[in-house]
Structure 1
């Protein structure tokens, strides 16, 4: 926001500098994790299971007596004749939940949740990391060269989208060829990250030439239809307010 007030050239210099710093940090993480793909968020939540014996023991180390544990007997309802399953006792709740909630990924060591990438897979990851820098530099070039229509130029948008889509296809090909079982053999964390990156392609509808030439016109048509209608005109006003902030202070690589 501060760079925006100093002119277009300063704004784009700051954007490119920020993306270079972010890319450097991501490449450093790629190195520190021995070429494992980056995640978003970088530290996914994970609940470590507690052994049932730890729950069965009391705070002073004395094990709960057998009489306090639930008996393995079922209760039959008199009218329907259906049997209700036995509820676990308080000392067996942890084992009961673990047996029904945990999956294979929940008990794997952290390093086994993400496989290392090499060759084509590592190239795809580097492309994915560098795509914001390349896109920001292309936008800087065209916006400074043609201040009036630079944001409407399709060259930066096509370049950025091609890099991201190409990185995704290379990564999928590498996973299918090198991983046992192909894409079906991925861990849950890898499948979730691949799915998130796929949905991330939708953000290109809010960037660059596509936003300026297509999305913005569609937003204007929607807000125009809502302007003279009771209550709905409030929704149109909110959309127009956010559109102003998006146009003035949003930088194209903020969601990359």
Structure 2
């Protein structure tokens, strides 16, 4: 009888040395091999199904929560008012570094409202407009001519300067507000919700989670031309103008609608 050296070969040799041992261990070995084969095949099939599922295009509903970046509850981001003399051209800058966009939010667009002091101007203005004439108990004045322009490019304010949804300039001589807008986030069109195809939630949201849009300075140029009216009332040689800026932010979420 040879000495047992503890090697794997010696162990196997001793296990199957006699017929009784073979009869006891052989079914166990075969059963283990069968179970291993079944488990391996099932694992491969499950892995294949998982890969196919991951690669499958799905329809996701993208929902946007929209609100104004507002620190004091007035639904405005910036407010500015000043007096323009006849012929004045002023550029007013609003620095977006001074505001805090909420976590998980992105700047979608920026609205600017330019308000003359007559009729639709400051709170407490009294009177009425008729055919471009401001009429009040104190007299009659012709509405002044105001023009407003959003100045800049992507070097001063990162946005979609050529977007069809923009209103970069406007004018008025009827004592009405002027409304301007610049879309800052690519392809953002005041969305409430829409469907998008992607293989997973991360990819569905990836177009709407890009940092860097809506950074910089909002520059508003205001030109004033005081109109002289031949009616009664004090001479008009200036205009108090108010500028309101609303920075609109959005937070996107995705929910699975269906699988292709």
TM range (shorter): under 0.3
TM-score (norm. length: structure 2): 0.24
- Higher strand proportion (structure 1 or 2): 2
> Which of the pair has the greater relative contact order for Cα pairs under 8 Å at 6+ separation?
2
- Higher helix proportion (structure 1 or 2): 1
Which has the larger Rg?
2
TM-score (norm. length: structure 1): 0.25
